Amino acid sequence: MKVFTFLVLSTVFLASCQKPSNQEPDLQSAVNVVNATIGMPQMGFFINGGKIQGDLLKYTDESGYFITFPGTRSFDVAADGITDYVLKTTVTFKQNTYHTVFIVGESGSVSSFFTDDDLSNPPSGKAKLRFVNTSPDAGNLILTLKNGTSLFTEQGYKGASQFITMDPGVYDLQVKTSTGTVLVERNVTIATGVIYTAWVKGLRSGTSNSPIGLQFRSIN
């Protein structure tokens, strides 16, 4: 069974998303939101004008999956969680589908992209892993093991791979440029039955307070 973090929806959101009388619960959508925006220490977000309640989402944090209704919805982000909007866009959520919305860019140029998340169980005794690039200036990136084994080929900015199957164990991961320069190293532990996202954050260049790094999170 998938693990959800249920967030309470505001009255406005509920009013704007009345459930059709013939709609079955398993035809709803599940959404996870990630704050990957450089220079954005926190944010709140709104679907169809209704604020998703809870603590403001801090940089590199994620909301956890919550239930919403499928279809094309407005999706707005406010730096103060109220009216200081930094992004107004639309997204189309699919029935009976898990999605992750990544809020990316820098505080002066915020954008988003979203993924369909395959949360089907890994094969017996295995785990699953995908690779996502949210770094605006790092170019195409590769994820490998320190021993040189390639896990994922080049992912451009706002790129997300498909999931691959992994054996459980301890791994030394390296994020590399397309020419092989190592940008990030991270030691991770992969457990049986768990689904992971490894996503690159921050800036490669400059003296940013958000240097390039690798987040490694379970999503089930």
pLDDT digits (tens, 9 = 90+) for 62-75: 999 999 999 999 99
Domains located in the chain, CATH noted: 11-117 (2.60.40.1120), 127-218 (2.60.40.2890)
3-class DSSP assignment, residue 25? helix
Percent of all residues in the chain with a pLDDT value above 70, rounded to a whole number: 86
Neighbours of 212 (CB within 10 A): 18
Residue indicated by tokens 């240097």: 211
SS3 content of the chain, % helix, strand, coil (to 5): 5, 50, 45
Q: How many helical (H) and strand (E) elements, i.e. helices and strands, does the chain have?
A: 1, 18
pLDDT digits (tens, 9 = 90+) for 116-126: 999 999 999 99
pTM attached to this predicted model: 0.87
